Amino acid sequence: MRDMVRWFLLFILSFMLIGGKWAFAADVGAMLKAMTDPAGAPFYPITMQVLQVLTWMLHILFVYTSIGGLFFTIYGFTKKEERWQRLAKATLELSKVSVSLAIVLGVAPLLFYQVIYDPLWYTSANLSAWWYILFIVFLLVGYYLIWGAYFTKNKPSMSMLMSILGVLFLLLVGFIIHVVNYQALYPEKWVEWYTDGGRTMNVSGWNIYAFNVFRYLSFLVFPSIAVTGVFLMLYNWYFRSREDMDKDYLDWAGKVGARSAVYAGIGWLVSHILYILTIPADWGAKGSIFTWLSVLGLVLLAGVVFSSQKNPVKMAIPSLLAGSVALLLIAIFREYLRIASTARFGYSIYDYKLNLEFLSPLLFLGTLLTGLVLYAYAWWMAYQAGKTPKGKVYEASETEHHLGELSVFIVVLWAVVFIGVGLIIVVRNYT
Amino acid sequence: MDVLGFYPMWYVPVVGSATIIGIIASLHVLASHTSVGASILLAYLATKAYRENQPQIYDYIKKYLLTLLVFSYVSGSITGPGIWFSATVANPRGISALIHNFVWVWAAEWVWFVAEVTLVYILFYTLGRIDQKSWLRLAWTFAIGSWATMYIIVGILSFMLSPGHEKWFTTGSILDAFYNKNYFPHLLSRTAYMFAIAGVIGLGIAALMKKDLPEKIYKDIVKTLSYWGIGGIVFGLMFFAWYVSTLPERSLVMLEGVVPLYLKVSIMLTILIVLTYFFLTAIRPQVARFWISLPIFILIFFLGVFPEEKIRETIRKPYVAGEFVWVNQIVSRDVPAKGIESEVPVIDQKGLLTVNAFVPEGLKKIDSQNEIMAGKAIAILQCSGCHNVTGSTGLRPFGQKFAGMTDPNVVYGFLAGYLRDNPPPYMPKFVGTDEELRALSAYIAHMISNGGSVSAKIEVPNTSAEAKKEVQP
């Protein structure tokens, strides 16, 4: 009899647990669904998802070289040695250009993310609204400090001070975006956070509700050093063919990069695993193939840079490839976390309401093809100019001139089509 | 749970969240118009340098490019996403409506944005390091690419004001939405003004380099910039007049009756000052000075661009996107083509507090204990897009609008007659239950009774049964 009562109570308890969770999940699920934009997605969500992953990867690459570049600059300026001073200036230049690229490349993943994960993005940003605005302010201040460091690069102590302040601001910016992305993964807590357990509405926008130090270290701090390390190996590889460059310095810089990449790569791997251990069990993330692929990617990168120690030049391109694979797998893992987090509440981006439309994707495709021709020409010319010794002018070959003409032609063609279509529509609709 | 898709609300006392967008947007307009205008001016000057074999012009171009990098491309490229960021927190459902309609168009703009930013660096670093013909090609693709970012964003800005044509609501076609009837005048007017803005900066740089440039080259550059500037302003005014003629009826009513006169006067005054400066420098290039250009540039920001942004925001009201999302983020009309339904009937029936997941349970059922706080929550959710709802200063403050109204019944009578049954063209109608309108009235009367200013904090009374249920574990 006692056993029966015990089993009966256990049954009730488990029913309450499961039933309670179901009921709760249904609530959060309904909220997420209600938050999706009524206009629906103008194209298949999977396309947005793939583009988001790929463009985030490009964006984060330059985030890493922005922050990592400054780490090297600061360290370099603390050394008296001439080659360290020289390296500090080179990485400062890298950081300065990288911030611009990180900003411009960061627009795309955010765009695609907002179309399929609007409930996550808008809610999390609004929970910490002032911080979200301060992201812009801190980035602006940080970037001007980096320019300040660049203009004072011949006064190392001043330049170092500005670099230190600059990197602190960039890390703060990274902290804010980390918080916003991390809070987004916990929809079950949003209402509780915002209403302080039902007692108020936190309309001030000053609250920060969640932070995970391992995620911050593994997504931002360690990779910054590791990726910039690989960049230094490429720096060695790219400039060594230029006759006016000091080969010894370049070889040394490559070695510094390779060594830093190994140490930071190990830190990256460890913090990544520690982060994985903090993911709640009900996400099922620890047993997922995507989780382990991301770990494998980091092991691959650490392995390749470890074997590059003796000859960084030879291994520069393989390291770049290994780094790209690792970054892609991390980007996929990061996206998988969103799927795992929202799947708990029955939310799937693949169920997003569709309002299919083909003209604007066509516009994007046409613009992208135009852009690719232009990028190819411009970047190729920049690559050639960089290979040319100082004081000399690079004369384009006939093929390069043809590519130049093609890029001007295709850009003009794009503008003509864009304006032409507009004229036709305006005449059709308004006359 | 029966909820609509509202997000957590952010409330900025006194100035309001819209002002935050306004400041960031104005900075961006100034920086981006400078850079787009300069890209075309510089490509033209580079062509002149190449054709007339005047390599010293390249020294000027290099300096201008550096200025662009430091000013326009730092502040412009950060404040561009900054407008987006601020709109995300100030008006998430408005920006979401735009993104979900125009994501691919924005993605196309991004292609040009990447081209623009990479090219400005490439142009700067390769000047004098690759042959002139190749550099010139890069300069022109940079110019057209920069301008292309404007082609694209102007269509989205036009749509924010109005889809232009009723057709869009039934076709949902991106072309009908994008190529509004005010698209071309809007694009041309911005294009013209950007030459004037870039010209002002250009004159300052030329003045700084005066002693390093041969006199003839210096005069040539200053005159070129002045002519482009004069042309920019004259054509800008013409295109602006055309733009006004294409505005929807409600915007014209607001432009005439609601937009304060001082905003219009300050823009006209700025235009006059800039035009005078260009005339003087065209006649006597020596007049160009850095210490004249810089204050004029700052003047353009405060007295030209910021008022222009304010006017644009005002004449868009009561909507924030496409004449179907109100400034308080409520979807106010059906868009059959997209399957969008107005939320007004549901909110009128169930209550605004009930359908918002981020309102605490203790405020959803209104009683005598929580009425004031429920009213404050409604004021923040429904009115704070345009009003300071907790004070007597700043953005159209409640403390002034309701001055002397300390009786809840009087406030109720006013709100019911004015805002629920017969709203003015620039304001959304009040939506929600009658009980909610009474709570809002009680809050306003309470606030006025307390001197017209109260804290923005919302406290759910402990006596509320629902609140207790939420708080207790």
Residues A400 and A304 in one domain: no
Q: Among A127, A197, A377, whose Cβ lies nearest the Cβ of B470? A: A197
Asked if B3 lies within 8 A of A374 by C-beta distance, the reply is: no
Percent of chain B with pLDDT over 70: 98
pLDDT per position as a tens digit, A132-168: 999 999 999 999 999 999 999 999 999 999 999 999 9
pLDDT per position as a tens digit, B3-32: 999 999 999 999 999 999 999 999 999 999
Residues A227 and A92 in one domain: yes
Residues of B in contact with A412 (CB under 8 A): 144
**Residue A22 confidence class, pLDDT cut points 50, 70, 90:** very low
pLDDT per position as a tens digit, A401-421: 999 999 999 999 999 999 999
SS3 A18: helix
pLDDT per position as a tens digit, A230-259: 999 999 999 999 989 999 999 999 999 999
Asked if B10 lies within 8 A of A198 by C-beta distance, the reply is: no
Residues A300 and A411 in one domain: no
| Predicted confidence (pLDDT) at residue B1 exceeds the cutoff of 60 | no
Q: Which of A355, A385, A405 is the last residue of a domain?
A: A355
**Residue A2 confidence class, pLDDT cut points 50, 70, 90:** low
- Distance from B286 to chain A by nearest Cα, in Å? 30
Residues of B in contact with A144 (CB under 8 A): 74
More confident residue, B207 or B464: B207
Asked if A429 lies within 8 A of B167 by C-beta distance, the reply is: yes
Residues A342 and A363 in one domain: no
Task: State the Cα–Cα distance between residues A97 and B121, nearest whole angstrom.
Answer: 8
List phi, psi (to 5°) of B71.
Answer: -90, -65
SS3 B321: strand
DSSP designation for B211 = G
The region of weakest confidence among A88-92, B112-116, B172-176 is B172-176
Total structural domains in chain A?
2
Mark A215-240 as b/e (b = at least 16 C-beta within 10 Å). Answer: bbbbbbbbbbbbbbbbbbbbbbbbbe
Residues of B in contact with A115 (CB under 8 A): 99-100, 103
Question: Count H helices, E strands: chain B?
Answer: 20, 2
Give the best residue of A347, A354, A374 to mutate against chain B (max B CB count within 10 A).
A374
pLDDT per position as a tens digit, A80-118: 899 999 999 999 999 999 999 999 999 999 999 999 999
Q: What average pLDDT does the segment B325-332 reach?
A: 96
Residues of A in contact with B322 (CB under 8 A): none
Q: Are B237 and B198 in contact (CB under 8 A)?
A: no
- Distance from A393 to chain B by nearest Cα, in Å? 4
| Predicted confidence (pLDDT) at residue B471 exceeds the cutoff of 50 | no
Q: What average pLDDT does the segment B54-72 reach?
A: 94
Place of tokens 């960021």: B85
Asked if B145 lies within 8 A of A411 by C-beta distance, the reply is: yes
Q: Quick one: closest CA in A to B150, which residue? A: A415
- Distance from A241 to chain B by nearest Cα, in Å? 17
Question: Count H helices, E strands: chain A?
Answer: 14, 0
List phi, psi (to 5°) of B358.
Answer: -95, 10
- Distance from B9 to chain A by nearest Cα, in Å? 6
| Predicted confidence (pLDDT) at residue B323 exceeds the cutoff of 80 | yes
| Predicted confidence (pLDDT) at residue A21 exceeds the cutoff of 60 | no
Q: Among B12, B90, B165, whose Cβ lies nearest the Cβ of A429? A: B165
Residues of A in contact with B88 (CB under 8 A): 121-122, 125-126, 132
Task: State the Cα–Cα distance between residues B20 and B353, nearest whole angstrom.
Answer: 26
Chain centroid to CA B61: 31
Q: Which of A307, A329, A355 is the last residue of a domain?
A: A355
Residues A246 and A362 in one domain: no
Residues of A in contact with B338 (CB under 8 A): 38-40, 355
- Distance from A42 to chain B by nearest Cα, in Å? 7
Gyration radius from chain B CA atoms: 26
Residue A179's CB is within 10 A of a number of other CB atoms, namely: 23
Residues A284 and A414 in one domain: no
Q: Are B432 and B351 in contact (CB under 8 A)?
A: yes
The DSSP element (H or E) to which B74 belongs, if any, is none
Residues of B in contact with A382 (CB under 8 A): 122, 125-126
- Distance from B454 to chain A by nearest Cα, in Å? 14
Residue B289's CB is within 10 A of a number of other CB atoms, namely: 17
Mark B328-361 as b/e (b = at least 16 C-beta within 10 Å). Answer: bbbbbbebebbebeebbebbbebbbbbbbbbbbb
* Residue B326, strand partner residues: B319
Angular region, B429: left φ>0, alpha ψ -120 to 50, beta rest: beta
pLDDT per position as a tens digit, A283-318: 999 999 999 999 999 999 999 999 999 999 999 999
Task: State the Cα–Cα distance between residues B6 and A36, nearest whole angstrom.
Answer: 10
3-state secondary structure A75-100: HHHHCCCHHHHHHHHHHHHHHHHHHH
Q: Are A222 and A253 in contact (CB under 8 A)?
A: no
* Residue B335, strand partner residues: B340
Residue A47 lies in a domain: yes
Comparing CA positions, the residue from A257, A269, A262, A241 lying closest to residue A312 is: A257
List phi, psi (to 5°) of A39.
Answer: -70, -15
* Residue A354, strand partner residues: A41
Which pLDDT score, from 0 to 100, does residue B469 have?
54
Place of tokens 């920001």: B301
Residues of B in contact with A422 (CB under 8 A): 178-179, 183-184
- Distance from B128 to chain A by nearest Cα, in Å? 7
The DSSP element (H or E) to which B8 belongs, if any, is none
Q: Which amino acid appears at position A320 of this protein? A: L
**Residue A23 confidence class, pLDDT cut points 50, 70, 90:** very low
Task: State the Cα–Cα distance between residues B176 and A428, nearest whole angstrom.
Answer: 10
Residues of B in contact with A418 (CB under 8 A): 148, 151
Residues A372 and A348 in one domain: no
Residue A23 lies in a domain: no
Residues of B in contact with A199 (CB under 8 A): 360, 362, 459-460, 467, 470-471
Residue A20 lies in a domain: no
Q: Quick one: closest CA in A to B92, which residue? A: A122
Residue A78 lies in a domain: yes
**Residue A13 confidence class, pLDDT cut points 50, 70, 90:** low
- Distance from B451 to chain A by nearest Cα, in Å? 22
**Residue A369 confidence class, pLDDT cut points 50, 70, 90:** very high
Residues A192 and A59 in one domain: yes
Supply B345's token pair. Answer: 């009937």
Which pTM was predicted? 0.94
Q: Alpha helix locations (H) across B284-402? A: 290-299, 306-316, 344-350, 352-355, 371-378, 398-401
Task: State the Cα–Cα distance between residues B197 and B274, nearest whole angstrom.
Answer: 9
Angular region, A92: left φ>0, alpha ψ -120 to 50, beta rest: alpha
Comparing CA positions, the residue from A383, A326, A402, A317 lying closest to residue A60 is: A326
Residues A363 and A314 in one domain: no
pLDDT per position as a tens digit, B281-309: 999 999 999 999 999 999 999 999 999 99
Q: Among B89, B126, B361, whose Cβ lies nearest the Cβ of A125? A: B89
SS3 A244: coil
Residue A22 lies in a domain: no
* Residue B340, strand partner residues: B335
Which pLDDT score, from 0 to 100, does residue B2 have?
81
Residue A156: asked if its preceding bond is cis (omega within 30°), the reply is no
Residues of B in contact with A130 (CB under 8 A): 10
Asked if B112 lies within 8 A of A359 by C-beta distance, the reply is: no
Q: Quick one: closest CA in A to B89, which residue? A: A126
Q: Among B7, B456, B459, whose Cβ lies nearest the Cβ of A35? A: B7
Residues A305 and A417 in one domain: no
Asked if B85 lies within 8 A of A119 by C-beta distance, the reply is: no
Q: Are A181 and A275 in contact (CB under 8 A)?
A: no
Which pLDDT score, from 0 to 100, does residue A5 have?
66
Residues A213 and A72 in one domain: yes
Residues of B in contact with A49 (CB under 8 A): none
Asked if B1 lies within 8 A of A27 by C-beta distance, the reply is: yes
Mark B152-191 as b/e (b = at least 16 C-beta within 10 Å). Answer: bbbbbbbbbbbbbbeebbeebbbbbbbbbbbbbbbbbbbb
What is the average pLDDT score of chain A?
94
Residues A378 and A414 in one domain: yes
Count residue pairs from A and B with Cβ separation < 8 A. 334
Q: Which domain holds residue A342?
A: 36-355
- Distance from B269 to chain A by nearest Cα, in Å? 31
Asked if A195 lies within 8 A of B360 by C-beta distance, the reply is: yes
Q: Among B80, B117, B471, whose Cβ lies nearest the Cβ of A199? A: B471
Residues of B in contact with A25 (CB under 8 A): none
Q: At a CB cut-off of 8 Å and minimum separation 6, what does A12 contact?
A: none
Q: Among A144, A368, A400, whose Cβ lies nearest the Cβ of B134? A: A400
Q: Which of A328, A355, A382 is the last residue of a domain?
A: A355
- Distance from A202 to chain B by nearest Cα, in Å? 8
ipTM confidence: 0.94
